[in-house]
Structure 1
Amino acid sequence: MELDPAAWLTRPGLRTLLEALDVKGGATKLVGGAVRDLALGLDAADLDLATRLLPDEVIARLSAARIKAVPTGIAHGTVTAVTSGTVVEVTTLRSDVATDGRRATVAFTTDWAADAARRDFTINALYAEPLGGTIIDPTGEGEADLAARRVRFIGAPLARIAEDHLRILRFFRFHARFSDGPPDAAALAACTARANDLMALSRERIADELSKLLALPDPLPTIRLMVESGILRPVLPEIDVPATDRLAALIAAEQSAPIPADRWRRLAALLPRDALAAEKIAARLKLSNKVRQRMALAADPADLGPAQAHAYRLGTESAIDRLLLASRPADAAAIADWPVPRLPISGGTLIARGITQGPDVARTLRTIEQAWLDAAFPTGASFDELVTPIIAAALDPR
């Protein structure tokens, strides 16, 4: 199989980069996700290069070509090249010397097959000649699996999982994205048998991988498979069969609205319908404070009334979360582009009208705000008509 080199050679500065890395001499090739995606007719956002050149030589060659070289992962052979705005990761061919399920000690090599053998899935171990587009398949299985839309581990699945436990979650994400039909039986059996290995991973890595899966167009069948197989039980026991039913309802509401899918909203659907519990799980996953708050707001079962009142109280993003999770897609769509108004009166205005500064002002503002919400946010003369009797009552509380 051959790819069209125009898919990458037209990127600014790339020809200069390839020339610096001795592409004509066969030292450097495209690798991984870009090759896979382009072979499937998809866009490739990121380009990665694999090279026989050692990291120090890569840096020297880039510097000589006046290309910025950033040693982003130098211990593992990775140098990031920045040329004319194009960013490319360049990694020296390597083989694993030792692994502990979380990180690897590597040795550099000039053997393309050895480099391919340490990768996770056959469809990710494809290389391409940068100038001609010819695909190289060192495992002898990647092209066939790609054509069959099949995700399989390279070699023995248990061995690949032992090298990096995150590959359990990566298998399910790649299955959801690329596979047609049921998962590879050997891969599923290995992931199920080694699910407890996920406990050794940082929660940040787990959250990142799960969020990538949830961002896919239809993660539901794969999430159901993971729950049924007990994959998430060691690290996220709260995600059970009822949680997958909530996710199904949410995806249906997103599509009905229609409102773009959102990974964090989908995660919220999988968490318990309890604000404190959802916030604790989000904290366990080391999510940002903003996302933790969003999880808590989405999980709160309180009904805030009309859609616009939701948006005013929670902000548009969290209001849409709450409405879609409540299977109210039409209401969510109605506020998607609605500019949330501000209360057209302030405490200073009330003081100027004679209300005593302090609790009386705060109490009157709350009364006005609730009446304003109930009346669907009137403005101008309609707002004045609404607040005049409230202010009069505050001035004369008899």
Structure 2
Amino acid sequence: MAALTLPAAEWRDRAGLDTLTEVLGAHEGLCRFVGGAVRDALLGIPVADLDLATALSPDEVMARLRAAGIRAVPTGLQHGTVTAVLESGPVEVTTLRRDVSTDGRHATVAFTDDWREDAARRDFTINALYADPITGALFDYFGGLNDLAARRVRFIGAPLQRIAEDHLRILRFFRFLARFGDAPDGDGLDACTIRARDLMALSRERIRDELLKLLVARETVGVVRLMLARGIFEPVVPEIRSADRLAALVAREALVGTLPDPIRRLAALLATDPAQADLIGARLKLSNAQRKRLMLASSDEGIAGPRALAYRVGRESAEDRLLLAATDDAALGQGWQQLTGWDIPRLPLTGGALVARGLAKGPDVARALRAIEDQWIAEGFPATDRVESIADAIVAQALSAPISAKAASPGTGRE
């Protein structure tokens, strides 16, 4: 890569950052920016998380920060990590490390003052780039700059050994390939294929986090197809069999101009089977809200009209269904337009109003209210005066010939 120094970037002007690096000995070469911030700055993309590596021990980092009045949180002292809380946000500060032992899930580390040794324990060459906070000078020990220029994701050292140290690197390889890569490194791809079953030893939470990040990456469709061809999903989500619906969804998201969403995209990889979606959501330790949304997105139950759908299942799930099930671009555009800027209304009537009309409290009121709601939805959510007319008619009918429990839909309100 042509750049020999870190380019100007907005994050480098964060309030308190210069003070932090000065406190940590930047003028003596004791700390450097590292990892994603350096990589993303070189690519000219926004930086989300900021990390500093330092030759100082964790105790010395804590002491210096406290002496300077900077809040220090010992977020992972056993691994050398202290979080410095600045007015502009947190910065993780980690002492240079080397691995003492690994078991594929956890590592025991020892601290060092050797920058190359610290770089050697990182996963990919593009993540092992360092930059001097003062001069912006870059430090590249394993060819990461060339790999970044070539959009190549390459393991540091022997891929099989690196995967044995941490099995999650299999999924990270594909996630970084989807985000930054143009073509996979052959040795790395083969190693991930050979060791795919190692993923079974990982916690479901770690698998979930990597998978959801992968699904919103730039080249997720091509990478998911590659993972399917290589059998990567088999040990953890064997239900994923095709990327065709995902490809269609990505195109539709672009058509309507909405941001990619990992739960919606996960639904596109699964069958239209809410029960199966719930099982997979439980396996991946999704939150209750995410599991419910995945189930709703995986349903093919028809509800007439996008606004009726939004009323029944909520705007987010209605958008999911529209994007996943649209039969053509015109229908999708029309449905999306109906939801844009539309506030989901509440039924302007209560059970008390039906009791006042003469219905007895209890099941009769609930059934009549649901019948009123169904007609109100079917008519396109008309104003209150029309709802009153609907209520008058349905209550009159109920008083003369009570609505049967079988004829009425169960429950009231939205799903």
Q: TM-score range by the shorter chain?
A: over 0.9
**8 Å contact kept, 1:128–1:136:** yes
Contact 1:254/1:329 (8 A) holds in 2: no
Secondary structure class of the residue paired with 2:73: strand
RMSD over aligned Cα atoms: 1.4
Looking at structure 2, the residues matched to 114 and 201 of structure 1 have their Cα atoms a distance apart, in angstroms, of 26
Q: 1:150-170 deviations in whole A, cap 9, x for unaligned?
A: 110011111111111000000
Report deviation, 1:290: 0.6
Change (3 A) 1:363 1:9: closer
Stretch of structure 1 that moved more, 226-235 or 377-386: 377-386
Distance 1:390 1:381 in 2: 15
The equivalences for 1:371-390 within 5 A come to: 371-390=375-394
Q: 1:358-369, aligned counterparts within 5 Å? A: 358-369=362-373
The residue type paired with residue 79 of structure 1 is: V
Who is 2:346 aligned against? 342
TM-score, normalised with respect to structure 2 = 0.92
Select the residue among 177, 180, 187 that pairs with 2:179. 177
Q: What is the alpha-carbon distance in structure 2 between the residues aligned to residue 132 and residue 209 of structure 1?
A: 34
Asked if 1 retains the 8 angstrom alpha-carbon contact of 2:65 and 2:72, the reply is yes
Displacement after TM superposition at 1:324 (Å):
1.2
1:32 shift after superposition = 0.5
Q: 1:14 and 2:17 equivalent?
A: yes
Give the stretch that moved more between structures: 37-46 or 74-83: 37-46
1:202 aligned partner, one-letter code: S
1:230-379 → structure 2 map (5 Å cutoff):
230-241=231-242, 244-327=243-326, 329-330=332-333, 331-379=335-383
Residues 1:317 and 1:41: Cα distance change in structure 2 (over 3 Å): same
Aligned-pair CA distance for 1:18: 1.0
AA aligned to 1:59 is M
Q: 1:378 to 1:8 in 2, by over 3 A?
A: closer
Match of 1:148 in 2: 150
Unaligned runs of 5+ in 2: 403-415
Structure-2 separation of matches of 1:288 and 1:86 = 26
Per-residue deviation at 1:333?
4.1
Q: Equivalent residue for 1:62?
A: 65
Q: Give the Cα–Cα distance (whole angstroms) in 1 for the partners of residues 257 and 47 of structure 2.
A: 27
Q: Deviations over 1:37-92 (max 9, x none)?
A: 00111122221110110000110111111111111010000000112233111100
**Alpha-carbon offset, residue 117 of structure 1:** 0.4
Q: Quick check: 2:98–2:112 contact (8 Å CA) kept in 1? A: yes
SS for the counterpart of 2:205 is helix
The whole-number CA distance in structure 2 between the counterparts of 1:275 and 1:87 is: 39
Report SS of the residue matched to 1:29. strand
Structural mapping, 1:36-51, within 5 Å: 36-51=39-54
Aligned residue pairs, count: 394
Which residue is 1:213 aligned to?
214
What is the alpha-carbon distance in structure 2 between the residues aligned to residue 352 and residue 71 of structure 1? 63
Q: Is the 8 A contact 1:316 1:336 kept in 2?
A: no
Aligned position for 1:71: 74
How far off is 1:9 after superposition?
4.1
Whether the 8 Å contact between 2:7 and 2:42 is mirrored in structure 1 is no
1:159 matched to 2:161: yes
Q: Distance in 1 between matches of 2:302 and 2:257?
A: 22
State the match for 1:3 in structure 2.
Answer: 6
SS at match of 1:24: helix
Post-superposition Cα deviations, 1:105-131, rounded to whole Å, max 9, x if no partner, equal 001011011000000000000000000
Alpha-carbon distance between aligned partners in 1 of 2:244 and 2:185, rounded to the nearest angstrom:
25
- TM-score, structure 1 as length reference: 0.96
Distance 2:321 2:255 in 1: 15
Shift of 1:336: 3.9
Amino acid at match of 1:268: A
CA distance in 1, matches of 2:200, 2:9: 44
Q: 1:218, CA displacement in angstroms?
A: 3.8
Out of 50, 55, 61, the position equivalent to 1:52 is 55
Residues 181-200 of structure 1 aligned to structure 2 (within 5 Å): 182-200=183-201
